[in-house]
Amino acid sequence: MVIGILTVQFRLHGCRSLKEKRHRLSGLRQKYGRLTHFAVCESGSQDDHRFGEWSFVAVGSDAGFVTRVLSSLESELEQDVDAEIIDISVDIDD
């Protein structure tokens, strides 16, 4: 089994509250949390309305598959998110 973790850190320009932050980033869980090979969670900066950190975990039997899935997700996030992406890290454990 291969486990891949994509961790994304965001800066939310103009965000004034945690409620607004949750609203702006809630689509991540709704969109990607429904996919069968992903688990999604807010993994850091939960109490800071200016920043967010989300982790996306993909599991599969093939490292190439997991790498492709996370790469595709990274490209989608760069287009879909209402925030500036300030850091992205990928860790593949096979």
CATH number of the domain where residue 29 is located? 3.30.70.1120
Q: What is the pLDDT of residue 89?
A: 96
Q: What is the pLDDT of residue 38?
A: 81
Q: What is the pLDDT of residue 90?
A: 96
User: SS3 for 50?
Assistant: coil
**Domain containing residue 64:** 2-93
Q: What is the pLDDT of residue 8?
A: 95
What residue ranges of the chain have pLDDT lower than 70? none
Helices (H), 4-60: 18-32
Beta bridge partners of 60: 2
Domain count, the chain: 1
Q: What is the pLDDT of residue 55?
A: 95
Q: Are 53 and 7 spatial neighbours (Cβ–Cβ below 8 Å)?
A: yes
Q: What DSSP designation does 66 have? A: H
